[in-house]
Structures are given as structure tokens and as C-alpha cells.
Structure 1
Amino acid sequence: MFAVYASEPNADDPLASLAVGDRPEPDVPDGWVTVNVKAASLNMHDIWTLRGVGIKPDQFPMILGCDGAGVLDDGTEVVLHSVIGDPEWRGEETLDPKRTLLTEKYQGTFADKVVVPKRNAIGKPAEMSFAEGAIMGTAWLTAYRMLFVKSGLRPGQTMLVQGASGGVSTALVQLGRAAGMRVWVTGRSEAKRDLAKQLGAHETFESGARLPERVDAVFETVGKATWSHSMKSLKPGGIIVVSGSTSGPDPSADLQRLFFLQLRVVGSTMGTRDELASLLEFVRLAGIRPQIGTELPLSEAKEGFRTMLEGDTAGKTVFTL
């Protein structure tokens, strides 16, 4: 079958390991289903896989792609939940120490077909296109959990999203606006800030700019480049919800500010199957149309990867089959 895959780990030049071509048809274990992929979206996790982060060398070659939407053999249209846990685990899915994502142990969605546990294929709302469904399982699920599970925000409170144009950031803007939050966003360029306003942000600011007032919550996916600004932007008792560190994972802790103002820092990773189902229903009820920055045929995947590496994004990159 046709697929886009990582041929080997390459920490210094990840695109050199990006391959396009034929891969074997997948086996289907008991309790798993085959999804005929219609669309799949690109995530930073795919760049890390090419670099060899979070995956063992003997797992290569690995078909890339955490997210996807497609059709089961019986015609059911589905969105994929990419977190695959230990069948024996009975706790909260994201805390399962044996959990894995597609592309870490199991082959991913950048292919004609992908095989997943039956429970990981969730019915797609009829109003949602396959391209829109393909961006729900990682970026949008991450944003949903950050906002509705971790932050404790109430409608009418003010949230700051650091970084205006990434997949999680654009999802946070749209979800926050739909939920009745006052949404503020920072961005490095006027074009990125304009995009945030188009998606529903009430105010936008240059990166690092002094805000008119402090906020109730900051949503962090950037890390080192924005951490100091995030800490200084919080009201006493406020919260930073962190789901990534694209600029580096080594921020100054600023412990004096943390304890004196009783700030809270909370980590958030992906989300559960039930949270994904709730997200799909919320998007349907709210009438939100997710922001897709670039849509390319899977055969042109290298262009999408290049754009992500250069930071030239305006929403999610989706590959169609």
C-alpha cells in the first residue's frame, strides 16, 4: 500500500529520512479494525519521530501520522483516537505508563490503511469533513483537555494563548471563544495575529508585549521563548497549562513569583477517548469549523513537512488520499 514513512532516525536532518512509497498491508489483530484513510494531519510528533525521539531504532521503518479520519470496511465514517493503552489498565488513559501513540509502536495514518483497536475508531459527525475530522485527535483534543479539563476557567474569564498560528493554539482560540472566554493571543507576526483575530480572538499582542491587565490562565505550547512572559502575565492564583515546549524545555522556573503569587503550573497531555467523543459533539453543537492552513495530497507530504520545520504555519496541515 502507498505510505509516507520514516526510513530511519535522523536527528540532524529529519527530512532526509522521510520516504514515500509502498509498505506492506497491515495485519489485523483480534479486536482491531482496518480504517481506510481519507485524510490525515501533520503534527510536530511526526518531526520528532523522524529525529528518532520517542521511538526505538528497531521500530523503523515507521509509517508516520498520529491523526486521521476514514471509513471502516462496513462504511462507517470515523475519527481516530491515537492513544493506544494497555488493555489491562483501568485508570485514566493518559496516565497509563504503557500507553503509546500511533507511530511510536504501531504504524501511523499516512497510508492507504491503518489498523487500530476498535474503541479507537469513533463515529465522525456527518457535518464534519474528513479533513476536519483528521485534525481532531491530537491538536484539538490536546486543546480541549487543556481548556475544559485542566484549566478550571469559567465563561467570562480571560485566557492568554502563547503563539498564534499552531494547531493547538488555533484550536484553543476557537474553543475558548465558543465557550465564552475572553481570548487574548500573542504572535510573532502581524499575519499570525490577524489569523487569530479571524478565528475569534478578542485581542492580539506581539510576542512578549506588556498586557493591559493580567489574565486568569495562560496556555503554553512554546516553552523557553515565552515562559517568562507567561509567568508575568498571570493574576495571583492564576494557572499556566502546558502541553508542549517547541522552543526548548528549559525555562527559568521563577520560583519566587510562583510561590509568592500562588501561581499554578499544570501539565496536560493529549486526552482520553471519551474526551475526544465530547470534543466532536461540542464542535458539532457550536458550529465550529476548524482552521486548516494547508491541504495537500499525501503524495506531496514532503512540502507539508518542510513548511512545519520552517515554522510557516497558519493552522493545521492536512494530507488527503
Structure 2
Amino acid sequence: MKAVVHADKSGMAGLTYREFEERSPQAGEVSIRLKTAGLNHRDLFVLTRHKPSDLPLIVGSDGAGVIEAIGEGVTGMKPGDEVIINPGLGWQTNSDAPPAGFEIVGLPDHGTFAEKVIVPAENAVPKPAHLTWEEAGVLSLAALTAYRALFTRGKIEKGMKVLIPGIGSGVATFLLQFAKAAGAVVYVTSRSQEKAQKALELGADQALDSNEDWERALDGEKMDLVIECVGAATFNQSLAQLRPGGTIVTFGASAGDDVNINLRTFFYGQFNLLGSTMGSAEEYKEMLKFVECHQLKPVIDTVYPLSEFHQAFKRLEEAEQLGKIGFSIS
């Protein structure tokens, strides 16, 4: 089968589109012939975490397709079923943090940037009927990350004021859609006028220029909840927008991971600081139910043929996208 494989060199220099040996599903597994896959920032990180001395790896965490074969003991599904992949491995029920051994499809095991992928049967979930293949293929990782950050960790409620800095990423666009569907008042920031305008079209109540004084732009309005996925570049600005007793949830550090905060300001403000990661299988099912109930669809930036993976990775690396980047797979 054809696949995007990382081997021999670190970073994008180690990626090639080539033939790769297939295997058959073992007990408890299913083989899926993929129709589409989705690109995430995690895939960029994998290119540095996966070492040149490691065995060749098919990258990619998101995908959707049709079950082609099932392993021994698999029940409740059959060849021909249309499925979407939950990329989280080994985290079944909601908990305060992922259990020991939690992994994600695409490292250490092979991922979805290929014509086929083999995953545990429990990770192949019926594809939401209202989503196209392109939409289903880019949904899972970013949508689950957004869902846990907003609902499980952030405890979002109707009428809350929510700030989402850096609206360009796939997770951020899901955060906006989910928060509006939950009845929140949503503020976003972006350095791009185009992205800010798109956010307003998606329902944002106000879009700020990331380079302006946020406090002045908000006219002193304070937030109940801030979801931080940018990192050091915006963290203290985000913290400054919280009301006393407000909550900031963080799960990303693409713009730096070392932050200095004023502890006295923090404890007098009675602020809550929470970390978050992708999410459990239980939350994944809740997220899909929420998406179906509100008929939500991913914001898709660009869909490339899998063979044009270099253009896709470059677009993501340079933060040119608004929403999700996907791959079509013949």
C-alpha cells in the first residue's frame, strides 16, 4: 500500500510517500481502508520525537474509511461499515488524567497517512451520517481536545464569557463552534484580519487583533473562561482578561512553554489554572453525540492528495491555515 513514512532523518526531511508492507488484523483489531485523513500539530511534533534510528513509521492520527477486514473475536462490526477513528489508545473512561500507557495513533504504532490502517476495534466508531468523508477524516483529535478542554475541564455553561486566543488552528475553530453551541458569549484573537473575519462569520461575538491591547479592546470586560492553546506568547495576556475566580484551561504551547506569572496577582484573583489533553473514549462518544445533536461540521482549510503531503505540512508549520487540513486517499 502507499503511505507517508518517516524514516532515516529527523523532521520533514525524513518523510517520503512510498510503498509500505501491509499486515492483517490480529485478534481484537480491524483493518480500515481509509478515504480521508487529517493533519494535526501533533504530526509535526512526531517528526522530532520519532528518531532516525527508529524503525520506519507511518505518521498520522486522524482518519475515516471503510472496514475491510476484522480480527478474531471482533463483534458488532463487519466489512463495509463506514467508520471514523478515535485516535486515543488505552483511555476508556473519563478521569482526572490519562492512565499510564495512554498513547495516540501515529506514534509509537503506525498511523493514518496511508491507504489502510489497523486499529483496535473499539477505536473504530460509526461515522456520523451528516459528515462528508473529508469532514469525518479531520474531526477526531482536534474536536476531542476542544471538547475536554471546554466541557470536562472548563465546565462551560450557557451565558459564560469565553476567550479563545489564536483562532486559526483546528482545535480553536472547534472551541468556537462548541462554545457557541453551548450558549456562551465568545471572544477570539488573531493576527490575521482574514481569520478574524471568518471567526465572526462562524459566530464569534468579537474578534480582537492579537497585537492590540486586549483590555482596551474588551473595554474592561472580563472572562469567565479562557482556553489557552498558544503558549507563552499569549498566556499572561489571557490571564489578565479573567474575572476574579475565573478559569484558564491550557493544552498547547506552540508559541513557547516557559511562562512567568505573578503569584500574588494569581492568588488574590482566586484564579483556576487547569491543564488538559486530548480525552477519553467516553468523552469521544459524548463529543460525537454533541456534534450530531447540533449538526456541527469541521471548518476545512484545504484538502490535499496524500501524495502532496509536503505542501500540507508546510502550510501547517507556517500557520497559514484556518481550520483543518486534510488528505484525500485514493
Q: What are the superposed Cα offsets for residues 193-212 of structure 1, whole Å, 9 maximum, x if unpaired? A: 11211211111101152222
Q: Which amino acid aligns with 2:288?
A: L
- The alpha-carbon deviation at position 274 of structure 1 amounts to 2.0
Which range moved further: 22-31 or 155-164?
22-31
- The alpha-carbon deviation at position 179 of structure 1 amounts to 1.0
Q: What are the superposed Cα offsets for residues 171-217 of structure 1, whole Å, 9 maximum, x if unpaired? A: 10111111100010010111111121121111110115222211001
129 and 62 in structure 1: CA distance in 2 versus 1, 3 angstrom threshold: same
- The alpha-carbon deviation at position 253 of structure 1 amounts to 2.6
Q: Which amino acid aligns with 1:6?
A: H
Identify the residue that residue 25 of structure 2 maps to in structure 1. Answer: 28
Match of 1:299 among 290, 307, 311: 307
Identify the residue that residue 277 of structure 1 maps to in structure 2. Answer: 285
Identify the residue that residue 75 of structure 2 maps to in structure 1. Answer: none
How many pairs align? 314
Q: Which amino acid aligns with 1:174?
A: Q
Matched, 1:81 2:78: no
Identify the residue that residue 126 of structure 1 maps to in structure 2. Answer: 129
Contact residue 170 and residue 291 of structure 1 kept, 8 A: yes
Which range moved further: 277-286 or 226-235?
277-286
Matched, 1:185 2:182: no
Q: What are the superposed Cα offsets for residues 79-130 of structure 1, whole Å, 9 maximum, x if unpaired? A: 11111128xx888495211111112111000001101101001111111112
Q: C-alpha distance in 2, partners of 1:164/1:296?
A: 22
- The alpha-carbon deviation at position 243 of structure 1 amounts to 1.1
Match of 1:71 among 66, 74, 77: 66
Matched, 1:257 2:265: yes
Identify the residue that residue 99 of structure 2 maps to in structure 1. Answer: 96
State the Cα RMSD in Å.
1.7
Match of 1:220 among 224, 228, 243: 228
Q: C-alpha distance in 1, partners of 2:284/2:95?
A: 14
SS of 2:62 mapped into structure 1: coil
Q: What are the superposed Cα offsets for residues 138-192 of structure 1, whole Å, 9 maximum, x if unpaired? A: 1111001111111012101100001011011001011111110001001011111
Q: What are the superposed Cα offsets for residues 55-101 of structure 1, whole Å, 9 maximum, x if unpaired? A: 46554311111111111121111111111128xx8884952111111
Q: C-alpha distance in 1, partners of 2:140/2:164?
A: 20
Identify the residue that residue 47 of structure 2 maps to in structure 1. Answer: 50
Q: Which amino acid aligns with 2:249?
A: V
Matched, 1:135 2:138: yes
Identify the residue that residue 16 of structure 2 maps to in structure 1. Answer: 19
Contact residue 143 and residue 171 of structure 2 kept, 8 A: yes
57 and 160 in structure 1: CA distance in 2 versus 1, 3 angstrom threshold: same
Identify the residue that residue 241 of structure 2 maps to in structure 1. Answer: 233
Q: Which runs of 5+ in 2 are unaligned?
A: 69-78
60 and 248 in structure 1: CA distance in 2 versus 1, 3 angstrom threshold: farther
Matched, 1:61 2:69: no
SS of 1:304 mapped into structure 2: helix
Q: C-alpha distance in 2, partners of 1:255/1:93?
A: 24
Alignment of 1:206-217 (within 5 A): 206-207=209-210, 209-210=214-215, 211-212=218-219, 213-217=221-225
Identify the residue that residue 178 of structure 2 maps to in structure 1. Answer: 175
Q: C-alpha distance in 2, partners of 1:181/1:80?
A: 29
Query: TM-score scaled by structure 1?
Result: 0.94
Which range moved further: 226-235 or 268-277?
268-277
Q: What are the superposed Cα offsets for residues 211-243 of structure 1, whole Å, 9 maximum, x if unpaired? A: 221100111110010011011010001111111
Q: Which amino acid aligns with 1:164?
A: I
SS of 1:37 mapped into structure 2: strand
- The alpha-carbon deviation at position 285 of structure 1 amounts to 1.5
Contact residue 124 and residue 280 of structure 1 kept, 8 A: no
76 and 263 in structure 1: CA distance in 2 versus 1, 3 angstrom threshold: same
259 and 286 in structure 1: CA distance in 2 versus 1, 3 angstrom threshold: same
Contact residue 166 and residue 314 of structure 1 kept, 8 A: yes
Which range moved further: 89-98 or 259-268?
89-98
Identify the residue that residue 148 of structure 1 maps to in structure 2. Answer: 151
Contact residue 165 and residue 195 of structure 1 kept, 8 A: no
Q: What are the superposed Cα offsets for residues 257-290 of structure 1, whole Å, 9 maximum, x if unpaired? A: 2111010111110011121122122112212221
Identify the residue that residue 244 of structure 1 maps to in structure 2. Answer: 252
Q: Which amino acid aligns with 1:75?
A: G
